[in-house]
Amino acid sequence: MSNCVIAPSILSADFAKLGAEVDAVLAAGADWVHFDVMDNHYVPNLTIGPLVCAALRKHGITAPIDVHLMVEPVDRIVPDFAAAGASIISFHPEASRHVDRTIQLIRSHGCQAGLVLNPATPVELLDYTLESLDLVLVMSVNPGFGGQAFIESALRKIEAIRKRIDSSGKPIRLEVDGGVKADNIRRIAAAGADTFVAGSAIFQAPDYARAIAALRAEVALA
């Protein structure tokens, strides 16, 4: 796959030196920065917000920042992330009262919009939303923590969404998040994903460049 995107999740980075960690994964060949926002309400964990996104931009990060909102409500925080330099903003439909309105809100602030499907969320959520989206994010773990095991039913969901995207004829990216490793990414790519979040698989590796190269090499074999 030539247009494969590798998006390291900074949830597994060393937050005490976050700017240097992001510089390092980008120098090691990463394409996007996956930025996990958790609120201790929609998910049982608490992470980082727009101030940290803005700090990464101020530090000099120019790569796309792929903001994954695990917050409820969603709309209040969208303009703040757009102003902080987010490139893509994805949200969970369960966390928004008006899913279409949230998609339009994200786009009206100049960002690309993504919808996130949890492991138990059906693909029918895309029936009236897909054509307004720039990205669909399939969760292959339940959101809230890094380092969990990949849930196999995500593969069937990715296959079904790949069909929908192809028949839409739109350049919508299909991203997968959770438990992505060198030993399963080939199957995930074969199912139809083109954008891969990896947290522990990259940040817990001793050599980021080797870890990213290993992921890309497996995708190329799909």
* Contacts to ligand DX5 by CB under 6 A: 9, 11-12, 34, 36, 68, 141, 143-148, 177-180, 197-201
Residue with tokens 């522990």: 200
Give the Cα separation of 173 and 146 in Å (integer). 22
Give the Cα separation of 78 and 15 in Å (integer). 23
Catalytic, out of 39, 66, 134, 177? 177
For Zn ion, which stretch binds (CB under 5 A), given 83-91, 159-167, 170-178, 202-210?
170-178
173 binds, among ligand DX5, Zn ion, none (CB under 5 to 8 A by kind): none
- Residue 194's SS3 state is coil
Give the Cα separation of 179 and 134 in Å (integer). 23
Using a 10 angstrom Cβ sphere, with 0-12 exposed, 13-18 middle and 19 or more buried, the burial of residue 10 is buried
Cα distances (Å, whole numbers) of residue 204 to 82, 186, 199, 201: 30, 20, 8, 6
Q: Which residue's C-beta sits nearest to Zn ion?
A: 68
Give the Cα separation of 104 and 74 in Å (integer). 12
177 binds Zn ion (CB under 5 A): yes
x/- mask, Zn ion, residues 30-49, rule CB under 5 A, reads: ------x-------------
x/- mask, Zn ion, residues 90-119, rule CB under 5 A, reads: ------------------------------
CB 84 within 8 A of CB 110: no
Q: Determine the Cα angle at 33 with ends 135 and 2, to 5°.
A: 60
- Pair of tokens at residue 56: 């990464």
36 carries an active-site annotation: yes
To the nearest whole angstrom, how small is the minimum distance from the Cβ of residue 139 to Zn ion? 8
Catalytic, out of 31, 36, 66, 134? 36
Q: In this chain, which of 49, 68, 115, 136 binds Zn ion, going by CB under 5 A?
A: 68
Write phi, then psi, for 179 (nearest 5 degrees): 70, 20
When the beta carbons of 48 and 172 are compared against ligand DX5, the nearer one is 48
When the beta carbons of 34 and 157 are compared against ligand DX5, the nearer one is 34
Give the interface with Zn ion as residue ranges (CB under 5 A). Answer: 36, 68, 177
- Residues tagged active-site: 36, 177
